[in-house]
Structure 1
Amino acid sequence: MLKPLFTYQNKEKLKSRKIIKYIFEEGKSIKTYPLLIRYVESELEYQQVGVSVSKRNFKKAVDRNRIKRQLREAYRLHKSQILDKNKSYSVMILYIGKTHLESEKIHKVMHTLLNDIK
């Protein structure tokens, strides 16, 4: 039975501090405003993704959480672009913008950035 493609399962959530530290020390990065993606190739059979929004730019937790939800949703809908490459990656998605953008713009940027991951 095939797994549904548009899911964001618990095993896909990047929670390991060691892996996150490794991504920031050794990983590659690609940037298109308002997103920065840092990634490393992983030995796991599945992708792992974490999202982050700066507290410096968005003081209210409500605003940060909304942007994180939008980032996860954009990833969930466009993750097939990474899966087609037959490699797995550990990815951190950082929102570096200082203002809140509409979901459509975030989706467009996520689409282009996920295509650029090699």
Structure 2
Amino acid sequence: MSFTLHKKEKLKSKKLIEQLFAEGKSVSNYPVKLIYLKTVHDDGSKIKTGVTASKRNFKSAVNRNRIKRLMRECYRLNKPLIFNNIVGDYAFMFLYLGKDMPTYEHLEATFKLLFKKLIIKENHEKLN
């Protein structure tokens, strides 16, 4: 399992993003919310991922871009937690809901808890 984030793993399809927000399920661990949807990808990627930070909470594009870079890095370094414990293709969208600038350490702890919640929720739904 490599720790890279390839171009084909990025969520870019407007249609898929709209479907994700309309039909997707969510898991939350403040200040990050994960919206996910089980789907099928034509290009062979297992998970497509997008990140976003609110323009309402962060007026400066520099701050929004910093938060998105931190979130992508947290996902990239912790994605083996997801890849090794989930079966199927997914689309993920990470939303930063906080109002203050996060540190990398805080975001990484949040992402690990978020992934654990997601795995528990998906395994529970699979059993029922």
TM-score range, shorter chain: over 0.9
1:79 alignment partner, SS class: helix
1:98 alignment partner, SS class: coil
Q: Which residue of 2 aligns with 1:57?
A: 57
Distance in 1 (CA, whole Å) between partners of 2:114 and 2:31 is 11
Residue 47 of structure 1: how far off its partner (Å)? 0.7
Give the number of aligned pairs.
115
Q: Which residue of 2 aligns with 1:14?
A: 11
Greater percentage in helix: 2
Unaligned runs of 5+ in 2: 123-128
| 1:60-99 equivalence runs, <5 A | 60-84=60-84, 85-99=86-100
With the length of structure 2 as denominator, give the TM-score of the two structures.
Answer: 0.86
The percent of aligned pairs where both chains have the same amino acid is: 43
| Runs of 4 or more consecutive aligned structure 1 residues displaced over 6 Å after TM superposition | none
1:28-56 superposed Cα distances (whole Å, 9 cap, x missing partner): 00111100100001212421000000000
With the length of structure 1 as denominator, give the TM-score of the two structures.
Answer: 0.93
Unaligned runs of 5+ in 1: none
> Of the candidates 7, 12, 28, which is equivalent to residue 25 of structure 2?
28
1:42 counterpart = 2:39: yes
